[in-house]
Copies of this chain bind each other. A is one copy, B any other.
Amino acid sequence: MTTAAGTARVPQEERTRLMRARLLEATVDCLVERGFAGTSTTLVSERAGVSRGAQLHHFPTKNDLVVAAVEHLTEKRATELAAAAEALPDGPRHTRAVLQVLADHFASPVFAAALELWVAARTDEALLVTVAPFEQRVGRDTHRLAVDLLGVDESVPGNRELVQATLDLVRGLGLANTITDDTRRRERILDRWADVLEKELS
């Protein structure tokens, strides 16, 4: 009996999981293409091909939906980031390659979607309550990843601040990239930054 019930439940759970994923991916697409203000629950349910009732059952408000969507995409991107990190070359170009992976991350659609959420949260207290701790967690995870990738000993004074500066730099580059294609300028800056990091991170 237990086994039969379990087997019967799996397809339903799987259908629910897929439906949630479709909703979250449609939300991210909306955020990237139309911004936070242009994203509505109606638009998302149409785009995902999910009924309004089912959508409201899983995500009662727009805020629930957009926060879950950015979390979903962030997890997906973290997996991609880890895979890109695995493929990094050793040797003299290693630091520069790490910077490229980080900078690409902050020039991706996940950054555009997160930026929409971030800026909306600045003036929306209900959203800020959820977004602020989420951003802190993502910030810590990204910092830890950067420390690992760069092979930094954070017990050496000044090293921690250089890793933080590196992440603030790529965040700033990401922001500059949102309205103009900034690729060539970014490459030269990352070359120079890699030189500095190799000298300074001891």
The reply to whether the CB of A107 lies closer than 8 angstroms to some CB of chain B is no
- 24 residue pairs of the A-B complex, CB under 8 angstroms, read A35-B119, A35-B123, A36-B37, A37-B37, A37-B120, A38-B123, A112-B122, A116-B119, A118-B175, A119-B178, A121-B179, A122-B178, A122-B179, A131-B179, A135-B179, A158-B195, A161-B188, A164-B188, A165-B189, A165-B193, A168-B169, A169-B169, A171-B175, A172-B175
Contacts A37-B36, A122-B35 given; does A165 touch B192 at CB 8 Å: yes
Question: Which residues on A are within 8 Å of B, measured CB to CB?
Answer: 33-38, 112, 115-116, 118-124, 128, 131-132, 135-136, 139, 158, 161-162, 164-165, 167-176, 178-180, 185, 188-189, 191-193, 195-196, 200
